[in-house]
Amino acid sequence: MSSADQSTTTSTDPTPKVTNAYKIALLAGDAIGPEIMTQAVRVLDLLAKHRDVEFELLEAPFGAGAYFSHGKAFPDEAKQACDAADAILKGPVGLSHAESQKIPVEEQAERGAILPLRARYNTYANFRPIYLSPDMSHFSPLKQSVIPNGIDILLIRELVGGLYFGAKERGVNADGKRYVKETLEYDENQIRQVLIIGFEQARQRKGVLHNIHKSNVLMSSVFWNEVLEEVRVDFPDVEVIHLLVDAAATALCLNPGQFDVMVMENMFGDILSDQGGGILGSLGLMPSACIGPEKAYYEPSHGSAPDIAGKNIANPYSMIGCVAMMLDMSFGLKAESDAVWAAMRSVFEAGYTTADLSVHEPENKHSDTQSAAAKKVSTTEFGDLVMIELERLLTSA
Ligand code: IPM
Ligand code: MG
């Protein structure tokens, strides 16, 4: 309530503090998950210190560790925390192949935790930004001449349908041969809702939507494109460019600058978004937002990297990027979100790297003056540098 507020209350009423309080379910996950989550939480603490905002963190077990401690990869404690939260921040889950074998197939982290989380909140639209600022473009394995302006693509992946969630069966057929059957299923509403998101994003950005499909082979893509023709009637200002998914894979390498917003079904999006991480130079640069009708959750696109867990070398960019996406998309804190992005980018633009990032470009501007290796920072050092810059941005605004 501002002092100018025409309130009818008496002057003895204390003016309530205008506080934006948010509940966040915190699912740190497995292996490097807790290490990178610690850095993400530092960002929330810093924002709470400098802005009129409060975050209540509901920590809960989730993933392979949760199976061992609670008997379930997505235990009731985690469901309750997620149900109660305004948004969910999830770290990567899963253990090494050998460790995973100790867990029944249906309770392994992917099938037992991630897919049920997506289904529970119907998080149908997965935003996967594939972004490198021009000053970070030396991280890309692509030639600088291919990405003169960096990379800036928003890949939107359908997340709760298709092969991932279709009927599955295994058995022995009439010839005595073992067989498997997995079904790519969509109803028209599932397709329509994610296409609408794609069109809206294209409208807000450059007015061009790349529709990625395989309609030369798959009936599901023919149907997808039929629904697209219906949806596009409401978006006459958006240009649609159709591209087959295999051709899109090539184009992402040869000329990523042709893409702005891309929309596609679940499995295509899983594969092409990892390729997105490839052209950035690391999946460690890929945060993502999983948006449902009532709730969203935020997770890095990468796995839990058990081989480097506990070494304090994981890149926390994607996890901190998830915080930035959550601030903007779930809480409407756009300026704060922008500050988090700016802080992280300025650290990389100053020449620092993390262990996952190699510098591909021989003429990298930092290599003459300073050895890139000398500027390779740990998980906590990257966090320290981001916090210094973020605090500067928050206090100079
Ligand atoms: C991703 C991951 C997941 C997926 C796995 C871990 C279930 O690869 O988010 O891209 O396939 O969706
Ligand atoms: Mg994937």
Q: How far is CA 32 from CA 91, 305, 319, in A?
A: 8, 6, 11
Please compute the mean of the pLDDT values over residues 35-62 and round it to a whole number: 98
pLDDT, tens digit, 9 for 90 and up, residues 312-369: 999 999 999 999 999 999 999 999 999 999 999 999 999 999 999 977 655 545 544 4
Gap from CA of 151 to ligand 2 centroid (Å): 20
Ligand 1: which atom is nearest the Cα of residue 299? 9
311 in active site: no
> Over pLDDT 70: what percentage of the chain?
91
52 in active site: no
Spatial distance between the Cα atoms of 235 and 50, rounded to a whole number of angstroms:
40
Q: How confident is the model at residue 94 (pLDDT cuts 50, 70, 90)?
A: very high
Hey, whose CA ends up nearest to atom 1 of ligand 1? Answer: 301
270 in active site: yes
Gap from CA of 111 to ligand 2 centroid (Å): 13
**Ligand 1 binding pocket mutation candidate from 111, 114, 130, 160 (most atoms within 8 A of CB):** 114
Mean of the per-residue pLDDT values for the chain? 93
Query: Would you state the pLDDT for residue 18?
Result: 44
Contacts from 15-22 at CB under 8 Å and sequence distance 24+?
A: 17/52, 18/52, 19/52, 19/53, 19/54, 20/52, 20/53, 20/54, 20/331, 20/333, 21/53, 21/54, 21/55, 21/56, 22/53, 22/54, 22/55, 22/56, 22/86, 22/87, 22/330, 22/331
Res 394 pLDDT > 60: yes
Gap from CA of 104 to ligand 1 centroid (Å): 19
Closest ligand, as measured to the CA of 116? 1
Of 343, 346, 333, give the one whose Cα is nearest residue 395: 343
Residues in contact with ligand 1 by the CB-under-6-Å rule are 110, 114, 270, 301
For residue 380, what are its two tokens? 């906590």
Res 251 pLDDT > 80: yes
Please give all residues whose CB falls under 5 A of ion ligand 2, grouped by chain where several chains appear: 270
Hey, whose CA ends up nearest to atom 11 of ligand 1? Answer: 270
Query: Would you state the pLDDT for residue 359?
Result: 76
291 forms beta bridges with: 125, 296
pLDDT, tens digit, 9 for 90 and up, residues 64-82: 999 999 999 999 999 999 9
Gap from CA of 302 to ligand 2 centroid (Å): 7
